[in-house]
Amino acid sequence: MMKKTNYTIIAGKYNNRYKGNYLVKIEEEIRNLIISNNYQNILEAGCGTGRWISSLEDMSKKIFGLDYSFDMIKIPKIDTSHLNLVNADAVHIPFKDNFFDLIFCVNAIHHFTDKEKFIAECKRTLTNNGMLAVFGVDPLIDKDWYVYDYFESVYANDLKRFTSLKLLKNLLEAENFGEVEIKTVEQVRHNRIGNDIFNDPFLEKYNCSQLADLSDEEYQKGIEKIKNQIVKDPETVFKTSVVFYLVSAKKIKEVKNANSN
Ligand SMILES: C[S@@+](CC[C@H](N)C(=O)[O-])C[C@H]1O[C@@H](n2cnc3c(N)ncnc32)[C@H](O)[C@@H]1O
C-alpha cells in the first residue's frame, strides 16, 4: 500500500522549496498553454499552497485549485482570500461534466491513490478538446540525486510511488485521450560541496515528501551517512539533477455508435 504523505506537518514549511528555485519554466509553460489555446476555466488538481494558481491570477481567467489537505490550501487563503479553492480529493472532482478547458497538475499525481480514477474524472469534467497537463519527474529515467544515495529505500520508494512517463501515457491512451505528448520543461542541476549540503532546503526532513515519509531514525541514519562522508572527504560533491516533464493530452469527443443501446 502506498504511504500517505502527511501534509499537515509539511504545510507550514512547504513554500521554502521555492525560495531556492521558483521553477519559472513550469510557470511559463502553464501560461503558454492557457494563452495559446485561449483556455478560460482552469483547475489545478493537488494545488497545495498555490504556487501556480496564485501566479495565474493576473490572467483574467477562472482559476480553481483543488487539494485534499486543508492545511496546504489554507496557506494561500491567508494572502489571497479570493482564490477559488476546493478542499476535495482529486479522484472525485466536485464539478459538473464538461466544465474545465484545462486541468493541470504539478508534482502531485504520484500522491493520488487511484490514478485511473483521477484521469477518468478529468475526462468527465473537461470540455471536448480540453487538455489534461501533468507536470512531474520520472525517477525511472532520472536518478542523479544525492538523496537517493544517502537515504536507504528512498529511491526504491520513488520507483513505486511515481507514475513513469510511459505508464502515464498508457493510462491516458487507455482512457481514450488523444494527442498525448511528452516534453522536457525544466531542468534543475546543481552541485554542493561538503558541508554546504546542509544549506540545501530539500535536505530538511519536511521539505520534500521523500524525506518526510521516512521515520526519524531512517532520516537520522541518512544524515549521519552524509556527515561521515564529509569527514572522510570534505570536498565531496553532492549532486542534484532533477528534470521536470510535461505529459499533455486532449479529451477527444466520443462518437456514440448508432447501433449501441
Ligand atoms: C508536492 S505537493 C504539490 C503542490 C503544488 N502542486 C506545487 O507544485 O507546489 C502535492 C499536493 O498534492 C496534494 N494531494 C495529495 N493527494 C491528493 C488527492 N488525492 N487529492 C487532492 N490533492 C492531493 C497534497 O495535499 C499536496 O498539497
Question: pLDDT at position 21, please?
Answer: 87
**In angstroms, what is the span from residue 139 Cα to ligand 1's centroid?**
18
Distance of CA 178 to the CA centre of its chain: 22
Is ligand 1 within 6 A of the CB of residue 50? no
Ligand 1, atom 26, residue with closest C-alpha: 48
What is the predicted pLDDT for the residue at 253?
Answer: 85
Whole-angstrom distance, CA of residue 9 vs CA of residue 71: 9
Determine the pLDDT at residue 185: 98
Q: How far is CA 15 from CA 83, 202, 206, in A?
A: 17, 11, 11
CA distances from 217 to 68, 93, 155, 245 (A): 28, 37, 17, 33
pLDDT of residue 78: 60
Distance CA 83, CA 15 (A): 17
Give pLDDT, residue 140. Answer: 96
- What domains, with CATH codes, occur in the chain? 17-251 (3.40.50.150)
In short, whether 17's Cβ falls inside 6 Å of ligand 1 is no
**What pLDDT score was predicted for residue 12?**
87
* Whole-number pLDDT of residue 61: 93
Ranges under pLDDT 70 in the chain? 1, 77-82, 257-261
